[in-house]
Structure 1
Amino acid sequence: MTDARLGSIGVRAVTISASGHRGKLSLSTLSDPVPAEGEVLVDVAAAGVNRADLLQRAGQYPPPAGAPDWPGLEISGEIARVGSGVSSWHAGDPVIALLDGGGYAEQVTVRETQVLPAPRSVDRIDAAALPEALCTVWDNLVTVGRLRAGEWVLIHGGSGGVGSIAIQLAKALGARVATTAGGPGRAARCAELGADLAIDHRAQDVVEQVREATGGAGADVVLDILGAGSLRENVRALARGGRLVVIGLQQGRRGELDLGAVLAKRLTITGTTLRSRPAAEKAAVVAAVRTHVLPMVDDGRIRPVIHDRLPLADAERAHDLLESGDAFGKVLLLP
């Protein structure tokens, strides 16, 4: 691995070596990162583990140009140094950050525009569960999905790291929340997070449950992590003028779409990703989260949901946990 911003050898990070469809994770020692102009260097307290990391490991989600080639899209920690031109952050500031990659490490550099102050009300380690989820949920529910108070939103995968935050954020905005989870216990925990309707998708008909709860109208917004596997169901579950926002493809990339239903209901279907977007767009999302969402974290309306905290050397176990579907909320890695 080569990077002009790297100095002496001495930082541990989890790297990926190719091995069939699932690369091998290894704890490696790399050159010390050096912040470039407009960047800060962060001592990492914890890194969030996301499904995007699993995709990157499988060779299906390469990092954007210029990003480290090891995984990790969000961290919490403390600023160690600032690069030239940085005036908004100083050494010693406690922060969380949305990364282009490289979070599975003891230190990482990041653009100052993708850094947020660490929430005062959250443990500094657990705060690593927030940046990716807060930015993803705000951008897709509010900016793309145009969710408004009083509307119904269906959130697939309410027990996940993104889903658990989406439930809380939607409720804080005054929306009415339906969500899915696998099994009655997980559905009950989603209800505890604030969901008005928590559906056990293994035993209940999701569309039927949503229609019953909404008086037959359907959901105004659907936030979908499943992709092709839930496409037909989502179209049926949406109300007239409804908005489907697809942010994941856990159940496939290709599916059949009933365009007649799309036309008749005047539906909007949008697919988005965050990692590959231009720096200016990511900066705008982070700025919106700082203004609109961090106050909800500080006053306790939104809290990170943590399944487990593991040492950096146990990244393999962290990935297995996420892949198994047993995790409720986020898994964190601690350098």
Structure 2
Amino acid sequence: MAQMRAVDIKNGTGPATSLHITSLPKPTPSPGQALIKIKAFGLNRMDLLQREGRYPVPPQAPKTLGVEFSGTIEEVNGDGGKEGFKAGDEVFGLAYGGAYAEWIVVSVRMILKKPEHLSFVEAAGVPETWITATQALYLIGEFAEGKSVLWHAGASSVSIAGIQLSRVGKASNIYITAGSQEKIDFCTHELGATAGFNYKTTDWASEILKATDGKGVDIIVDFVGAPYFQNNLKVAAKDARIVQLGFMGGSKLPEGVDISGFLLKRVRYEGSSLRSRDEVYQGRLRDRLEEWVGLFGEDGKGEGKDGGGKGLKVYVDKVFKWEDVVEAHRYMEGDGSKGKIICTID
């Protein structure tokens, strides 16, 4: 059986230092799948959790980490889908797992052709991040032109995408929270957020209510969880949507939490994940992402409100060779990044 190199975890789970490159069987595409030679893959926080044994991996996922990638098609089993994918096509896409490797097999339903103006590094940072932001903003948040949005963890990859999608979708105001003035400036000056609030030094909920004349925000996208639950209800506008995508701060609410805002403001609170969804659901989001692809690129003028650009930009914070995957995971754990962390395979 043909072999390939792939990242594995010593003893199945462990710290970043447990990651190492080993040999695994090279996958073979089933009907409707493509075999892709990977050029680059993106890191996501779920990778850290999965490495530690704290992430519910879907049953169809291989044990190898990684859900987003870019590369070149080596083989297609079948007709190549409606796009007619064929060997030699440069693509990027979303998988249930297996991207930390030299080759991956994935449904042709979940890949897109890479535009020439996007590098393999940039393209590898698009699928999980931008599909998640699209899901949160449009499918769950029910965003429409003129609504206001609050993106917590403003300098995280999903929020970076979400801020830009909110901007090109003509949100009335876009607010963010972040843990440093540097990150706030990045979100406001570079991405086009209306205002940002430092959760370490200010009462962000009170500041947002001041900024909105007490009306609050229409859509709130949160990754923090329990510590923000009460304040999210506080800043929610009438008929607001609160979208929960993670629990970085914990999932158990303290005693005394007041849930009256749900009734008084008619708030809808909904949690969601992407990886556990079936291919039909993910495929609909992939099709929505395809609508944005033409707006990506260095000439997209995605530099925010000062530039007035209508384009979208993939912000890559740091690139590692995949042999340095341990350092890449440690860097993500440091919480200092603004944008995607990408590993490349020579």
> Quick check: TM above 0.5?
yes
Q: Is residue 13–residue 53 contact of structure 2 (8 Å, CA) maintained in 1?
A: no
What stretches of structure 2 of length at least 5 have no aligned partner? 301-310
Shift of 1:86: 2.8
Asked if residue 46 in structure 1 is aligned to residue 43 in structure 2, the reply is: no
Shift of 1:60: 1.4
Shift of 1:71: 0.6
Residue 305 of structure 2: aligned partner: none
Given residue 328 of structure 2, which amino acid in structure 1 is its aligned partner? Answer: A
Q: Is residue 32–residue 78 contact of structure 2 (8 Å, CA) maintained in 1?
A: yes
Fraction of identical pairs, as percent? 31
Asked if residue 16 in structure 1 is aligned to residue 9 in structure 2, the reply is: yes
Q: How does 1:64-143 map to 2 (within 5 A)?
A: 64-87=58-81, 88-143=84-139
Shift of 1:83: 1.3
Query: Secondary structure at 1:125's aligned position in 2?
Result: helix
Given residue 226 of structure 2, which amino acid in structure 1 is its aligned partner? Answer: A
Asked if residue 309 in structure 1 is aligned to residue 319 in structure 2, the reply is: yes
Residue 187 of structure 2: aligned partner: 190
| Cα displacement string for residues 15-66 of structure 1 (whole angstroms, at most 9, x for unaligned residues) | 1223775371111111111111111111111100000001101111143223
Q: How does 1:1-335 map to 2 (within 5 A)?
A: 7-9=1-3, 11-18=4-11, 22=15, 24-87=18-81, 88-175=84-171, 176-191=173-188, 192-255=190-253, 257-291=257-291, 293-297=292-296, 300=300, 301-335=311-345
Query: Secondary structure at 1:290's aligned position in 2?
Result: helix
Q: Is residue 65–residue 97 contact of structure 2 (8 Å, CA) maintained in 1?
A: yes
In the alignment, the residues of structure 2 paired with residue 63 and residue 20 of structure 1 have an alpha-carbon distance, to the nearest angstrom, of 13
| Cα displacement string for residues 140-168 of structure 1 (whole angstroms, at most 9, x for unaligned residues) | 10111011111110001111111111111
Given residue 214 of structure 2, which amino acid in structure 1 is its aligned partner? Answer: G
Shift of 1:296: 2.8
In the alignment, the residues of structure 2 paired with residue 104 and residue 243 of structure 1 have an alpha-carbon distance, to the nearest angstrom, of 35
What stretches of structure 1 of length at least 5 have no aligned partner? 1-6
TM-score where L is the length of structure 1: 0.93
Number of equivalenced pairs? 327
RMSD: 1.6
Query: Secondary structure at 2:332's aligned position in 1?
Result: helix
Q: Is residue 172–residue 296 contact of structure 1 (8 Å, CA) maintained in 2?
A: no
| Cα displacement string for residues 158-198 of structure 1 (whole angstroms, at most 9, x for unaligned residues) | 11111111111110100121011111111101112111112
Given residue 133 of structure 1, which amino acid in structure 2 is its aligned partner? Answer: T
- Superposed structure 1 runs of 4+ greater than 6 Å apart: none
Q: Is residue 9–residue 51 contact of structure 2 (8 Å, CA) maintained in 1?
A: yes
Q: Is residue 47–residue 128 contact of structure 1 (8 Å, CA) maintained in 2?
A: yes
TM-score where L is the length of structure 2: 0.91
In the alignment, the residues of structure 2 paired with residue 77 and residue 59 of structure 1 have an alpha-carbon distance, to the nearest angstrom, of 28
In the alignment, the residues of structure 1 paired with residue 212 and residue 115 of structure 2 have an alpha-carbon distance, to the nearest angstrom, of 35
